[in-house]
Amino acid sequence: MATRSQTAAVLLAGALALAACGSGGTSQPPASGGGRTLVIDTSFDLKTADPGRTYEPTGLIVGKAVYETLLTFDGADVTKPVPALAESYELAEDGKTLTLELKQGATFADGSPVTADDVVFSLTRVRDMKGTPSFLLDGVEVAKTGDSTITLTSKAPNPALPYILPNPALGIINSKVAKQHGATADAQDKAERYLNANSAGSGPYRIESFDVSSQVVLTSNTKYHGAKPAYDKVVIRNVEAATQKLNVQRGDSQVALNLSGDQVTGMPPALQVKKTASANVIFLLANQDSAISRTTTNPKFVEAVRKGVDYAGLLELAGEGSTRAPGVIPSQLLGALPADQGAERDVAGAKAALAAGGLSNPTVKLEYPTELTVNGLSFQPLAERIQANLKEVGITVDLQPAPVSTALDNYRNGKEEMGLWYWGPDYPDPSDYLAFLPGKTVGLRAGWKPGAAKEIEEAGEKAAAAIGDDARKDAFADVQTKLNASGPFIPLIQPSQNIVTAGSVTGLDYHPVWTVDIADLGVK
283-300 pLDDT tens trace: 999 999 999 999 999 999
Which pLDDT does position 35 carry in this prediction? 76
CATH of 281-494 among 2.170.190.11, 3.60.150.10, 3.10.105.10, 3.40.50.2020 = 3.10.105.10
Q: Is the confidence at residue 165, as pLDDT, over 60?
A: yes
pTM equals: 0.87
Q: Give residue-wise pLDDT tens across range 386-407.
A: 999 999 999 999 999 999 889 9
Gap between the Cα atoms of 504 and 214, Å rounded:
26
CA distance 316 to 324: 11
Mean pLDDT of the chain: 92
- Cα–Cα distance for residue pair 422/416, rounded to 1 Å: 15
Per-residue model confidence as pLDDT tens digits over 297-343: 999 999 999 999 999 999 999 988 999 999 999 999 999 999 999 99
Q: Has residue 359 got a pLDDT over 90?
A: yes
Question: Above 60 in pLDDT, residue 445?
Answer: yes
Report the C-alpha gap between 342 and 33 in whole angstroms: 54
- Decide: 343 and 307 in contact? Cβ < 8 Å: yes
Name the fold adopted by 1-47+205-276+497-524. Answer: D-Maltodextrin-Binding Protein; domain 2 (3.40.190)
Rounded distance, CA 502 to CA 307, Å? 43
Measure the CA dihedral 228/230/232/233, to 10°. -130
Q: What are phi and psi for residue 373, nearest 5 degrees? A: -120, 145
The answer to whether residues 523 and 28 touch, using CB atoms and an 8 Å cutoff, is yes
Q: What is the mean pLDDT of residues 462-477?
A: 95
Output the pLDDT for position 405: 87
Give the residue extent of every domain in the chain: 1-47+205-276+497-524, 281-494
pLDDT > 70? residue 77: yes
Q: E strands within 304-412?
A: 323-324, 363-369, 373-374, 377-378, 396-402
pLDDT at 28: 46
Average pLDDT for 382-388: 98
pLDDT of residue 375: 86
Query: Is 70 exceeded by the pLDDT of residue 27?
Result: no
d(CA 349, CA 376): 33
**pLDDT digits over 129-144, tens only?**
999 999 999 999 999 9
Give the separation between CA 125 and CA 139, rounded to whole angstroms. 14
From residue 114, give the alpha-carbon distance in Å to each of 122, 397, 518: 11, 58, 22
Taking the C-alpha atoms of residue 173 and residue 495, their distance in angstroms, rounded to an integer, is 35
CA torsion sign, 52 to 328 to 423 to 375?
positive
Q: Which amino acid would we find at residue 279?
A: A
Please name which of 72, 115, 105 lies closest in space to residue 226, comparing C-alpha atoms: 105
Which amino acid type is present at position 328?
V
Q: How far apart are CA 323 and CA 276, in angstroms?
A: 9
